[in-house]
Amino acid sequence: MSSLLPNGRSIVLIGLMGCGKSTVGRELSRATSFPFLDTDMLIEEQVGMEIPQIFAELGEPRFRALETALLNYLRDNPSSRSSGIIATGGGMILRPENRLILRSLGFVVWLDVDLPNLLSRTARAQNRPLLHIEDRESRLRELMDIRSPLYEQTAHLRINSSNLKASQVVDLILQHAHTFFASPPSNEAT
Ligand code: S3P
């Protein structure tokens, strides 16, 4: 399985908060022995603050700039420490330049989960400042409306994972990743 990813290439997970990027990413990492990277965690380590504190003290625009800087770093330093299985923050696809960089990193998979599942999966999370509001359903619906076309245009593969177990999602991703890396789109090879 360790021959899955060509040198410096990654499997990149995108999707809304609560879609399972971290769970699936960790399981993919275990299944393939490639390192697991989480862009939120890398930013937290770099800044020395947790995401809610970054939003409160530095503001969302600064957080978005940190996301872009991190993606640039990952693209420019394709080593065994900066590639593997990458879970991204839900808003990573908002900037056009991020969408291009994400595709250049490797195989991009959108975990598409329906609203009821997102609502229940984010019910107890305290670490998501965008959901620190009374009406989480309206907020998630709004984010879904705005972002779905952006996830769509960024992803090489969309998986409707609402009713799938993490292990089933992992199996699907691995099947498609083998095909992708055997013949990646020629205009995206790094
Ligand atoms: C965000 C999603 C979060 C985190 C930040 C903003 C978003 O990551 O990056 O709170 O804009 O959707 P997760 O999708 O991992 O929760």
Does 189 fall in a domain?
no
pLDDT tens string 134-178: 999 999 999 999 999 999 999 999 999 999 999 999 999 999 999
CATH number of residue 120's parent domain? 3.40.50.300
Length of the chain: 190
Share of the chain above pLDDT 70, in %: 96
Q: How confident is the model at residue 79 (pLDDT cuts 50, 70, 90)?
A: confident
Does 89 fall in a domain?
yes
Q: Smallest Cα–Cα separation from 90: which of 121, 47, 116?
A: 121
**147-to-53, 111, 140 alpha-carbon distances in Å:** 24, 13, 10
Kindly state if the Cβ of 128 falls inside 6 Å of ligand 1: yes
Q: How many distinct structural domains can be found in the chain?
A: 1
Interior/surface letters 162-175, b for 16+ CB within 10 angstroms, e for the rest: eebebeebbebbee
pLDDT tens string 34-48: 999 999 999 999 999
Does 3 fall in a domain?
no
What domain range is 101 assigned to?
A: 10-180
State residue 35 phi and psi, 5-degree precision.
-65, 150
Does 60 fall in a domain?
yes
Structure tokens, 143: 């984010």
Helix (H) or strand (E) holding 4: none
Cα–Cα distance, 62 to 9 (Å, whole number): 27
pLDDT at 185: 74
Nearest C-alpha to atom 16 of ligand 1 is from which residue? 17
pLDDT at 188: 66
Query: What ligand 1 atom has the least distance to the C-alpha of 40?
Result: 9
Cα–Cα distance, 19 to 31 (Å, whole number): 20
The structure's pTM equals: 0.96
Average pLDDT, the chain: 94
pLDDT at 190: 47
Kindly state if the Cβ of 17 falls inside 6 Å of ligand 1: yes
pLDDT at 146: 98
pLDDT at 63: 98
Query: What ligand 1 atom has the least distance to the C-alpha of 15?
Result: 14
- Bridge partners of residue 109, in order along the sequence: 13, 157
pLDDT at 81: 80
Does 16 fall in a domain?
yes
State residue 137 phi and psi, 5-degree precision.
-60, -50
Nearest C-alpha to atom 2 of ligand 1 is from which residue? 90
- Give the end-to-end CA distance of the chain in Å, rounded to a whole number: 22
Residue 59: is its pLDDT beyond 60? yes
Does 67 fall in a domain?
yes
